[in-house]
Amino acid sequence: MSPPDPGERPPQTSPTPQTRDADPGTAGPPSSPPPPPAPPAGGNGGRPHWSRRKRVLAWLGAITTVIVVAAALGAYGVYRHLNGNVHQLNISGIIGNQPVNHHPRAENILVIGSDTRFGQARRYGSSHTFSTDQSDTLLIVHIAADRKWADVMSIPRDSWVNIPSCRMGNGQMSSPTTFKINEAFAIGNLYGNRTDLGVACTIKTLEVDTGIPINHFVAVNFGGFRAMVNALGGVPECNTAPINDPKSGLHLTVGHHLLNGWNALAYVRARYTLGNGSDIQRIGRQQAFMSSLIERVKSKLLNPVAIYRFLDAATRSLTVDSAMGGLPGLYNMATSVRNMQPSQVTFFTLPTYPRSQVVPTDTANVMWTQPEDSMIFQAFRNDVPVTVALLHHHHGRPSISPGSVSLAVVNGTPNAGLQDSVASQLQQDGFHVVRTGTSANSSVTETVIRYHSGQSAQARLLASKIHGAALFQVAGSGQISLLLGSNYGTTANPGPRVTPIPASSFAPRTASQSICTNA
């Protein structure tokens, strides 16, 4: 049932203002298919159409167009073939306890770009082959319970986070560590390239650091992205400055281009010779490219051969959790959001600042901006859209006095007496420290302010003194608590807050915006 892949060549080293593959051929699904079967049953509601990177766009386009599989292709044999393409993994027994989900009809879907490059690293432009799968793309798609809007949060892969103990391919558990977030996927993949363990470790890391319950995951691979772009006959791109990237072999003049699979892959991965060379700007380009790819899919809906090739490539590139239910589950998710307008799908990159501002020797990584990012995580947990107005409302120091804030200071590190020195500083600043103590766990890595309903303003005032501390609202009632982790002193310090120069700020774009808007 599967047609041959369209032919293509790796990126050329000479300037190519417009590149595309040769005619992909005429192979495709059987002609004159019988009437479409009834939509398959099962699966969960809610489906993200958008994403941030090549694998993201891969998955997204697949889900958006899976709605038309039955109508455009029809035959039950075609449906069975596409469903058989989707890889399914059961990781429920690996993740362990997850955060309480207070909005079960909403969906938080993790999208991971699996950077497996065995046999193709040099063709892409890298001089070496990785020994494990890498997580090169990471985002969380939040689909609202009412299916009227969706937020897509891109998380920079260089985010400095706390990674909990995770199961590795040799059956052993890794030690908790603090490192960049894409290391979580690599840890799980040690000793055997285990996608299930890599995804599980990434989910555990995100849930520990954000408190966002992850309902499903979708992993998309390198090869699938190229095949999807080729199946569409290329995807439009435009740029306002020439691109000359020797690492990827991508050379584009100023203006509009139609990129084939290799060049599209180079475009969404190119970094050091574009803009300021940051991963943050690359995320923005990928989000714009995703919008362009979706529009390209829409333009091909009346071409059953192109759509078949696209869906065949997309489904072959997908690995999903078994609870999602394969193609029927993806179909149901797509159906549940079919009336969602592109203007109601918002992309944004998680605000960060350079870690070099607290660790001068680290010029490669970024840290999450607090308290803004904690407010974003809370919005995801509470099924509330993330907007400029929401963050502005919570921005700045509340107009209350430190004396109105009662708190406990708890030391979660081996540094004896840290709780007393921090408490002393906070009391000098006017806060009311009612008790100090030590945690039963002396290997806490993240400094966290836990507060209850109605204490948001007090928690934010405390956060203005404890730079970089994460904010978590917890159930029940009681005093605010400050748990000191091993990152205290690098991401958090007492005394007046010094506002860092951000590496990325909250700058949303909708799926309806043209790719040229942010070119």
Per residue in 294-310, pLDDT (tens digit) is 778 878 877 888 888 88
Euclidean distance between CA atoms 412 and 394, whole angstroms: 28
> Does a structural domain hold residue 519?
no
70 plus 146 within the same structural domain: yes
> Does a structural domain hold residue 178?
yes
CATH code, domain carrying 70: 3.40.630.190
> Does a structural domain hold residue 490?
no
> Helix axis angle, 279-299 relative to 261-269, nearest 10°?
150
Cα Rg of the chain, angstroms: 24
> Does a structural domain hold residue 381?
no
412 plus 348 within the same structural domain: no
Neighbouring C-beta atoms of residue 27, cutoff 10 Å: 13
408 plus 324 within the same structural domain: no
> Does a structural domain hold residue 491?
no
346 plus 395 within the same structural domain: no
CATH code, domain carrying 436: 3.30.70
pLDDT number for residue 130: 43
pLDDT number for residue 167: 94
Q: Which of 326, 353, 380 is the last residue of a domain?
A: 353
162 plus 259 within the same structural domain: yes
313 plus 430 within the same structural domain: no
* Token code pair at residue 159: 């985010």
> Does a structural domain hold residue 494?
no
pLDDT number for residue 18: 37
pLDDT number for residue 134: 61
> Does a structural domain hold residue 258?
yes
> Residue 427: which residues within 8 A CB-CB, separation 6 or more?
433
Residue 328 has pLDDT above 90, yes or no: no
Q: pLDDT tens digit string along 149-172?
A: 999 999 998 898 888 899 999 999
Out of 50-54, 176-180, 181-185, least confident range: 50-54
> Residue 84: which residues within 8 A CB-CB, separation 6 or more?
none
Domain tally, the chain: 2
Residue 213 has pLDDT above 60, yes or no: yes
80 plus 204 within the same structural domain: yes
What's the whole-number average pLDDT of the chain?
76
> Residue 234: which residues within 8 A CB-CB, separation 6 or more?
19, 20, 21, 258, 259, 260, 264, 296
pLDDT number for residue 21: 35
Residue 7 has pLDDT above 50, yes or no: no
- Which of the two residues, 37 and 332, has the higher pLDDT score? 332
pLDDT number for residue 1: 42
Residue 501 has pLDDT above 90, yes or no: no
pLDDT number for residue 49: 38
409 plus 332 within the same structural domain: no
> Does a structural domain hold residue 29?
no
152 plus 210 within the same structural domain: yes
- Which of the two residues, 516 and 95, has the higher pLDDT score? 95
157 plus 247 within the same structural domain: yes
- The mean per-residue pLDDT over the stretch 62-78 comes to 48
104 plus 195 within the same structural domain: yes
Give the domain range for residue 116.
54-353
348 plus 426 within the same structural domain: no
